[in-house]
Amino acid sequence: MPSWAEFQPYIVTGLALGGLYALSGVGLVVLYRATGVLNLAFGAVGAMGAFIAYSIIQAGGPGWVGWITCILFCGVVTLGYGMLFGPALAGRGPLVQSIATLGLALVLFGAIDLAWPTSGGQSPSISFPTDNGGFSIGQLQVSWTQVIALGLGVVITVGTGAFLRYSKLGTAMRAMANDREITATLGVPVRRVEAAAWLGCGLLSGIAGIMLADLSALDDTTLVFTVVISSLAAALIGRLRSISVTFVAALVIGLVHDLLTPITQISNYQDMTPFVLATIALLVMPRGQVMARTREEG
């Protein structure tokens, strides 16, 4: 068993990763509650955005142009998908709607591989100017990027919570989560509210994509699957409903995942963390809650 000192750096990286999972999880939950769609293309969109940012920076463009392009691209793609397929599939239930987003994920995945082939040589990467700066707590080095990652997670979670609670648009989203038809009858512009949710989810996927490309790796399989699976697990533990539970679960997943790194016996299996935690959560969760709160075919 490694000593406590060996674990310490992984608390920092774990919390940073957890912050980004939280941000992604919150994006997924908000979209799901507003539209009934679980955006499984979340990671793929973010990955594509990150690769575009990488190309811009490679071509000599300033960093901030790349980051903003990435976030905007993700917002536009997700919004476009939502506008195109949201209404077409609206009556088909959450399951079919969510499976359809896998189509988008596959398209983007193939496009990324085509445009940025994984060949030998230098692997693509993205770095922020905040990577090198930072401070230390005792022996522990903390970079500003890690602080930003965790901070973004907190800010987005709190901000989204407040937004849903107090703003008019947020109230409309909460109403639609309860009943789309009644909300429409009450005069809420359902399409516009859904568009806002799609856009928000897309922008968040862009932020998550570019940050993870820096903190983790700019690799399409990692970005597409690890991110989606981790944040999905967090959202699932939050029963696709509670933003605060999702946030805590995301931090725990990030922490556990990274804290397993120094334990050599099981560090190979650390990527199973989200799966194991989500399964345990689903098992422990009372059956009634899972069944009753699933917005299923009816």
Partner 1 sequence: MIDTAGTKAPVAGRRGPLMDRRSLTRLTVIVVLLLLALFALPPIMSAYYTVTMTQVAIYSIVTLGLGLLVGRVGLYSLGQLAVLTIGAWVGARLLFATGQPFILVMIEAGLVTMIIGSLITLPALRLRGLYLALITLMLAGGVTVIEATLNFPNGGGGFSGYDGSQLHTPQIRRPSFAGTDPAFYRFAVIVAIVMFLLVFAHLLARPGRAWAAIRQSEPSALAAGINTTFYKLWAMALAAFVTGVAGALLAGADRQLFSIDFPIQNSIELLAVVLMGGAFALSGAVIAGFLQAFLPALLQDWGVPNDWLIILFGVGVMQVLTTAPGGIADQFPKDMKRLYRFISRLWRRPPAAAPAPADTATAGKRGGAA
Residues in contact with partner 1 by the rule CB under 8 A: 38, 40, 85, 88-89, 92-96, 98-100, 102-111, 113-114, 221, 224-226, 229, 232-233, 236, 268-269, 271-272, 274-276, 278-279, 282-283, 287, 290-291, 294, 296-297
Closest CB to partner 1 among residues 3, 265: 265
Closest CB to partner 1 among residues 202, 274: 274
CA distances from 294 to 33, 177, 204, 233, 241 (A): 11, 11, 24, 15, 10
Closest CB to partner 1 among residues 14, 170: 14
Closest CB to partner 1 among residues 178, 279: 279
| Minimum separation from the CB atom of position 183 to partner 1 (A) | 21
| Minimum separation from the CB atom of position 154 to partner 1 (A) | 25
Closest CB to partner 1 among residues 108, 150: 108
Which strand (E) or helix (H) includes residue 134? strand 134-137
* Beta carbons of 128 and 207 less than 8 angstroms apart: no
Long-range contacts of 191-196 (CB under 8 A, 24+ apart): 191/87, 193/34, 193/169, 194/34, 194/35, 194/82, 194/86, 195/79, 195/82, 195/83, 196/34, 196/169
Q: What one-letter code names the amino acid at 266?
A: I
Closest CB to partner 1 among residues 8, 55: 55
Return the structure tokens found at 191. 């399409």
Can you state the percent helix, strand and coil of the chain, rounding each to 5? 80, 5, 20
Which residues on adjacent β-strands are paired with residue 137? 140
| Minimum separation from the CB atom of position 102 to partner 1 (A) | 5
| Minimum separation from the CB atom of position 227 to partner 1 (A) | 11
| Minimum separation from the CB atom of position 255 to partner 1 (A) | 18
Give the single-character DSSP code of 116: S
User: Which DSSP string do the residues of 210-255 spell out, in sequence order?
Assistant: HHHHHHT---HHIIIIIHHHHHHHHHHHTTTT-HHHHHHHHHHHHH
Which residues on adjacent β-strands are paired with residue 141? 136
Closest CB to partner 1 among residues 172, 224: 224
- Backbone φ and ψ for 173, nearest 5 degrees, come out as -65, -40
| Minimum separation from the CB atom of position 75 to partner 1 (A) | 20
| Minimum separation from the CB atom of position 40 to partner 1 (A) | 8
